[in-house]
Structure 1
């Protein structure tokens, strides 16, 4: 029961605070944009270039009307809410940005960023799924508890989380917007990884609707060789190790067996995050560069 206490005020009230501070209050300060840094744990990894460009044009004309919520982080300031405004401000060529500076714990930073994006419908379906998974793993929540915190139905949480069961190739198509979440859910009705990939490729190549995809799914469900062994579920040790690595590296990690070989997949957003992950892993090597 002690783990549940980390939720504190709850996500909804925290987001209410952030909205009140960034919308209703004047900024605490104006900071050089070079002193403001994105949050590496930000659940949203991609930003629509057209929308950013439009926001940048608006900022050039009117300035930033809603200050960015930040917290002190070393010699700089880490964004808690408002990364889209920050990215647009950089695009607009601003040297300074208005900010609200607050003391916010590590555990609440991710929750605030996730809620801000969810309430504004800015996350891609997979970014939303990864955000849910991170909260479930790190805060030891049930899906029912998470649904109450986020004011979403449990079935919506479950269906979104299932998107992470798609093969990487299909996830890439979803992330790129070449298939929709509706297509993805229809593809999940196919039990095999190979069948899911082939159906996704057919959807893209023939520009199929969600309804057409649902009708085709059963045809892709019995395509495996009779002698091919059923894919075994990942052992609990894999899941525990993946959860510990996610917490240590602050990013999504998968451990799985692919065609008889065990693999670890570590997700990173950009070169800076990759360098940070390499540095963390290298720091654990007791033999240095020997």
Structure 2
């Protein structure tokens, strides 16, 4: 029985053929070559930063018994071979004492290699949200890509890219909490509604200490925001208006202020840069 791997993002599928067919557990591809492990070098654009020791140990033991079933994907760089996908497999091969590693050699440039490495990790769900956000940010910066262009390349929506990258705007310790899995990206998105970084951090610690889920986090931050506004406000605001503000902030992921007049009012929506404005517009025009 032949099984075909999931496709890449729309743009990458046209650039890199991913026709790796698996038949009875054995890779079959005319470009598979055994390469001296000493000639294989890491990819500086590797998005994955953490490699869990237990999982790596299990893979190492499997390779010692069965060998490497799925080849590593590389590209030729001068007299070396740079990894495109498979750094964890390479580490396990080294730990298993292999001298040669089966590889698929791709003729691609640095940009395509970086995108492929990102997509490969996303499809395996190997990246934590912060690694994913950093990878998106680096690709956009290094190759002058818009969020829309990157979204097309990796097969994600533009709003998904925007919301993921926004996690990097959180207070530094909170970013670390998400990277370590102590908080989810859902928690992070709610915490972005708290603009004061110290208050963000206090809220994050309360979430962890009380094991709050995302819904409970939303309720906590809403109450906190309302309490803060009540303390600082010089006027007795309509509770209904305040509830509407909270609902809008939760929907748009940014600060919203409803200003009432005698016969009319206005809505103030904060945004933080052009990309954030595009994200808000996309939410409003859905």
| TM-score, normalising length: structure 1 | 0.68
Change (3 A) 1:87 1:213: same
What SS class does the counterpart of residue 14 from structure 1 fall into?
coil
What SS class does the counterpart of residue 84 from structure 2 fall into?
strand
Q: CA deviation at 1:128?
A: 0.9
How many residues are matched? 221
Find out whether 1:106 has 2:110 as its counterpart.
yes
2:119 maps to 115
What SS class does the counterpart of residue 104 from structure 2 fall into?
strand
Tell me which of 50, 66, 73 is aligned to 2:70. 66
Q: Distance in 1 between matches of 2:208 and 2:167?
A: 17
- Structure 2 gaps, min length 5: 1-9, 233-270, 275-286
Matched ranges for 1:207-226 at <5 A: 207-221=211-225
Q: Distance in 1 between matches of 2:30 and 2:64?
A: 19
- Structure 1 gaps, min length 5: 1-8, 227-232, 237-290
Tell me which of 168, 193, 198 is aligned to 2:197. 193
2:181 maps to 177
2:13 maps to 12
Q: Which structure has the bigger radius of gyration? A: 2
For residues 45-69 of structure 1, give each alpha carbon's deviation from its aligned partner in whole angstroms, at most 9, with x where no partner exists.
Answer: 1122222222222211111112111
2:208 maps to 204
**Alpha carbons 1:195, 1:220 under 8 Å: kept:** no
Matched ranges for 1:247-266 at <5 A: none
Change (3 A) 1:206 1:175: same
Matched ranges for 1:139-158 at <5 A: 139-158=143-162
**Alpha carbons 1:59, 1:89 under 8 Å: kept:** yes
Q: Distance in 2 between matches of 1:138 and 1:110?
A: 10
Change (3 A) 1:14 1:122: farther
| TM-score, normalising length: structure 2 | 0.69
Q: CA deviation at 1:103?
A: 2.7
What SS class does the counterpart of residue 10 from structure 1 fall into?
helix
Q: CA deviation at 1:185?
A: 1.3
1:262 maps to none
